[in-house]
Structure 1
Amino acid sequence: MRRPLARSLTALVAAALLLPAVAACDTEPAGLVIYSGRNEGLVGSLIEKMEDSLGTKIDVRYGDSAELAAQILEEGDKTEAGVFLSQDAGALGALSKEGSLAALPAATLEKVAPSYRGSAGDWVGVSGRVRVIAYNPDKVAKAPDSVHELVKPEWKGRIAYAPTNASFQAFVTGMRVLEGDDATRTWLKGLKANAKPYEKNTEVLEAVDKGEVSLGLLNHYYWYEKVAEEGEDKVKAKVHFLPGGDPGALVNVAGVGKLKGSSKSESTYAQKAVDFLLSEEAQKYFADETKEYPLAAGVKTTVDGLPPLESLQAPKIDLGKLDSLKQTLAMLQDVGMV
Structure 2
Amino acid sequence: MAACGDGPASEPGDKKVMLYSGRNEALIKPLLDKFTQQTGIEIEARYGTTAQMAAQLAEEGDRSPAEAFLSQDAGALGAVNKKGLLAPLPPEVGAKVPATYRAQDGNWVGVTARSRVLVHNPTLVKAEELPSSVFDLTDARWKGKVAIAPTNGSFQAFVTGVRLQHGEAKAKEFFTALKANDVQILENNIAIVEAVDAGKVPVGLVNHYYLGEIAKERGTTPDKLNAKLHFFAPGDTGAMVNVSGIGVLRRSGTDPDVRALVDFLLSAEAQTDFAQRTFEYPLVAGAPAPAYVPPLADLKVPAIDLNDLDTLEASIALIKAAGLTP
Instruction: Compute the TM-score of the two structures, normalised by the length of structure 1.
Output: 0.88
Alignment match, 1:277: 265
Q: Which runs of 5+ in 1 are unaligned?
A: 1-18, 24-28
Alignment match, 1:70: 55
Alignment partner of 1:86 is 2:71 = yes
User: 2:158 is matched by which residue type in structure 1?
Assistant: F
Alignment partner of 1:159 is 2:143 = no
Aligned to 2:179, what secondary structure does the other structure show?
Answer: helix
User: 2:200 is matched by which residue type in structure 1?
Assistant: E
In 2: Cα distance, 1:73 partner to 1:169 partner = 19
Alignment match, 2:114: 129
Alignment match, 2:5: 21
In 2: Cα distance, 1:263 partner to 1:113 partner = 22
Alignment match, 2:35: 50
Alignment match, 2:293: 306
Change in 2 beyond 3 A, CA 1:233/1:292: closer
Could you tell me how far 1:92 is from its partner in structure 2?
Answer: 0.5
User: 2:258 is matched by which residue type in structure 1?
Assistant: A
**Residues 297-331 of structure 1 deviation map (CA, whole Å, 9 limit, x = unaligned):** 22221x22221000011112221211111111111
Could you tell me how far 1:231 is from its partner in structure 2?
Answer: 3.5
Contact 1:22 1:61 in 2 (8 A): no
Aligned to 2:150, what secondary structure does the other structure show?
Answer: coil
Contact 1:54 1:269 in 2 (8 A): no
Aligned to 1:93, what secondary structure does the other structure show?
Answer: helix
Change in 2 beyond 3 A, CA 1:268/1:240: same
Q: How does 1:1-338 map to 2 (within 5 A)?
A: 20-21=4-5, 31-142=16-127, 143-194=130-181, 195-228=183-216, 229-232=219-222, 234-262=224-252, 267-301=255-289, 303-338=290-325
Contact 2:68 2:247 in 1 (8 A): yes
Aligned to 1:145, what secondary structure does the other structure show?
Answer: coil
In 1: Cα distance, 2:91 partner to 2:103 partner = 12
Aligned to 2:44, what secondary structure does the other structure show?
Answer: strand
Contact 1:208 1:215 in 2 (8 A): yes
Could you tell me how far 1:232 is from its partner in structure 2?
Answer: 4.3
User: 1:257 is matched by which residue type in structure 2?
Assistant: G
Q: Which runs of 5+ in 2 are unaligned?
A: 8-13
Contact 1:116 1:125 in 2 (8 A): yes
Aligned residues: 313
In 2: Cα distance, 1:67 partner to 1:227 partner = 29
Cα RMSD of the aligned pairs, angstroms, is: 1.9
Between 1:144-153 and 1:45-54, the stretch displaced more is 45-54
Identity value in percent = 46
In 2: Cα distance, 1:54 partner to 1:257 partner = 20
Could you tell me how far 1:257 is from its partner in structure 2?
Answer: 0.9
User: 1:223 is matched by which residue type in structure 2?
Assistant: L
Alignment match, 2:10: none
Aligned to 1:230, what secondary structure does the other structure show?
Answer: coil
Contact 1:96 1:120 in 2 (8 A): no
**Residues 33-84 of structure 1 deviation map (CA, whole Å, 9 limit, x = unaligned):** 1111112111111111122333322211111112212222222222211111
